[in-house]
Structure 1
Amino acid sequence: MKAIVINEFGGPEVLKIVNLDTPSISTNQLLIRVEATSVNFADIQTRQGTYHAAGKPPIIPGLDAAGIIEAVGSDVKGFKVGQRVIAFPKTGSYSEYITADENLTFAIPNNVDFRTAAASPVVAFTAYKLLADVGRVQPGETVLIHAAAGGVGTTAIQLAKILGASCVIGIVGSENKVSTAIEAGADHVICYEKDEFAPKVNELTNGKGADVILDSISGKVTEKSLDCLAMYGRLVNFGNASGDFGQFITKDLHASCRAVLGFSLGTTRNNRPELLREPAKWLMSYLAEGRLNMKVGKSFKMEEAAEAHRLVESRKSTGKVLLEMNK
């Protein structure tokens, strides 16, 4: 089989296509022929050697995939050969074949195509957990989403509305991303190139602030987010794309009954995979019903993985970027 392998950390040029043996499966695993896989910012960090779960080269990057089951282990009960699935693989997804544990594999509804399915696992599972379980969004609340034009951002905007938020405010880094966040359903979009976001959020909420804030940027963005977090609000950090680390003063939390929370989908997949079963049920039904629309910004051939990385790393992409194996 063909796969993209990182033999040394570095720039996009270290992504090389190599021929490898098709992997074997254990009794509780499935062998899946990959149709498409998404490109996530964690893949950039893996390539650079800065992702916390990257390991050491040689590495096949990639966190999720959509494809068709080619073989099932003897202990697998819920799947069969030929079934269409999404999965979080054991050892990377930039590959023609992957292996995945049964409890990290989920059936694709019949009316959902592979592109939509491949765009959904990391961003949709992350967004759902951030909003429903960690941020505990309640009907009528205001949700603020940083990086609102990206894969998680455009998905979280939609899910916030599905879960009952009355107002969703998106923050984007450039004017050309405003329309993407609006198309996803944001009620207001703030471009931090033009405006300081915290005063603007407070103005939009009549001084109350946002009840739930999703922050994948960290650093100064986290610190400024506390300036527009409502009483009893929840700030959920799930990344540090800025490369910096924010700080806060403890009394700014307890006096206002506010909370700063953290979430990692990777940690959850590795340590508490059972926590993804319930989100999968809801997310697959939302996709099947057309209530959740996955925004695919651009797709590339497997051989164009370096180009895909350059696009994501430039922060000029919107929606999800995909690698399609049969494109």
Structure 2
Amino acid sequence: MTAIEISKPGGPDVLQITTRGVPKPANNELLIHVLAAGINGPDVLQRKGLYDPPPGASDIPGLEIAGQVVALGASVSRFAVGDMVAALVTGGGYAEYAVANENVTFAVPKGLTVTEAAALPETFMTVWLNLFQRGKFGQGDSVLIHGGASGIGTTATMLARQLGADKIITTVNSAAQQEASVRLGADVAVNYLTDDFVSAAKDATGGAGVDVILDIIAGDYVARNYEAAAMNGRIMQVSILKGPAKELNLWPMLVKRLTHAGSTLRSQSYEDKKSILGELEKFVWPLIAEGRVKPEVYRTFPLIDAADAHMLIDSGTHIGKIVLVN
């Protein structure tokens, strides 16, 4: 099969076309003919040599796929050959075929194309885990979402709006991204290149600050998040695109009784991932079926043009997800 491998740590050009053997499904796995694969921040970090795959995972990048089941492991019971499915995988998505554990595989939700379904697993599960399960976002809460035009950001904005947010503030980097973020549900979309998100968050909440912050940035944003947070605020760290925090004053965290927590989805157990997926099926799939929520797909690229797709995601000009298609 054709696949994309990382030849060495670096820029998009290190993504090289290669030929690999088709993987064989284990007892609890399905072999899926990949028709579409979403691109995510962890793929970029892995390409740069900053995020190694967990033990036993494929070195081929790609954490979410959609396509057709072509073979089943001996113990798989919920799917049949020919089913159209999407899945969260620990690696191997940038290929013509990939294996997925049954616990993190699901039928393409009603109302979505295969391409849209491929943009769902990693992003929706990450947002649900961090914003709703760990961040305890609830109806009437205010939320600040960094990277508002990213896959994480667009998903968090849509879900927060549909599930009862009071105020949604996002950070983006252009007028086009501001317009898109407001369309998806943000009350205020702050251009972080020209405006201060701390002031915007406080203005939008009458000076109180925001209840929950979802952050993929880190770096100097950490201290500023402490400023923007309300008393008893929850700050959920999903990624660290700007690197570690430096010269961080923890006093505001103590004074405001803040909770600052982080997690990665990739290394969690299949049982934990199954639990997240179960809640999505209960609370979010109906919103998808009603047309109230769907993954925001910005552009697709052929699998063999993965390097070009990563050039676009590195540019930071996209809105939503970029998807590779076979």
TM-score over 0.5 for the pair: yes
Query: Which 10-residue stretch deviates more, 307-316 or 268-277?
Result: 268-277
Shift of 1:253: 2.8
Distance 1:311 1:51 in 2: 20
After superposition, the Cα gap between the structure-2 partners of 1:114 and 1:306, relative to the gap in structure 1 and judged at 3 Å, is same
1:304 aligns with 2:294: no
Q: How does 1:98-247 map to 2 (within 5 A)?
A: 98-245=98-245
Give 2:87's aligned residue.
Answer: 87
Shift of 1:55: 7.3
Deviations 1:70-119 (A, max 9, x none): 11111111111111111122441000100011112111134321121011
Deviations 1:187-208 (A, max 9, x none): 1111111111112211221110
After superposition, the Cα gap between the structure-2 partners of 1:54 and 1:309, relative to the gap in structure 1 and judged at 3 Å, is farther
**Contact 2:301–2:325 (Cα < 8 Å) also in 1:** yes
Distance 1:178 1:230 in 2: 24
**Contact 1:268–1:275 (Cα < 8 Å) also in 2:** no
User: Percent identity, aligned pairs only?
Assistant: 34
Distance 1:248 1:257 in 2: 16
After superposition, the Cα gap between the structure-2 partners of 1:133 and 1:56, relative to the gap in structure 1 and judged at 3 Å, is closer
Query: Which 10-residue stretch deviates more, 53-62 or 237-246?
Result: 53-62
Deviations 1:138-157 (A, max 9, x none): 21111110110111111101
Amino acid aligned to 1:13? D
Query: Which 10-residue stretch deviates more, 191-200 or 239-248?
Result: 239-248
Shift of 1:307: 0.3
After superposition, the Cα gap between the structure-2 partners of 1:44 and 1:90, relative to the gap in structure 1 and judged at 3 Å, is closer
1:290 aligns with 2:282: no
What is the Cα-based RMSD across aligned positions, in Å? 2.0
Deviations 1:261-309 (A, max 9, x none): 1121113356833332323313333222212121111110111110000
Give 2:14's aligned residue.
Answer: 14
**Contact 2:223–2:249 (Cα < 8 Å) also in 1:** no
1:256 aligns with 2:256: yes
Query: Which 10-residue stretch deviates more, 261-270 or 128-137?
Result: 261-270
Please give the secondary structure, in 1, of the residue aligned with 2:267: helix
Amino acid aligned to 2:148? A
Distance 1:136 1:254 in 2: 20
**Contact 1:132–1:163 (Cα < 8 Å) also in 2:** no
**Contact 2:31–2:98 (Cα < 8 Å) also in 1:** yes
Please give the secondary structure, in 2, of the residue aligned with 1:208: coil
Shift of 1:249: 4.1
Please give the secondary structure, in 1, of the residue aligned with 2:76: coil
Please give the secondary structure, in 2, of the residue aligned with 1:272: helix
Distance 2:172 2:96 in 1: 34
Structure 1 runs not aligned, ≥5 long: none
Please give the secondary structure, in 1, of the residue aligned with 2:213: strand
Deviations 1:222-242 (A, max 9, x none): 110110100111111110011
Give 2:68's aligned residue.
Answer: 68
TM-score normalized with structure 2 length:
0.93
Please give the secondary structure, in 2, of the residue aligned with 1:206: coil
Please give the secondary structure, in 2, of the residue aligned with 1:132: helix
Q: How does 1:274-285 map to 2 (within 5 A)?
A: 274-281=274-281, 282-285=283-286
Distance 1:71 1:270 in 2: 20
Q: Give the paired residue count.
A: 325
After superposition, the Cα gap between the structure-2 partners of 1:195 and 1:300, relative to the gap in structure 1 and judged at 3 Å, is same
Distance 1:311 1:130 in 2: 26
Amino acid aligned to 1:284? W
After superposition, the Cα gap between the structure-2 partners of 1:8 and 1:57, relative to the gap in structure 1 and judged at 3 Å, is farther
Amino acid aligned to 2:159? L
Distance 2:7 2:271 in 1: 27
TM-score normalized with structure 1 length:
0.93
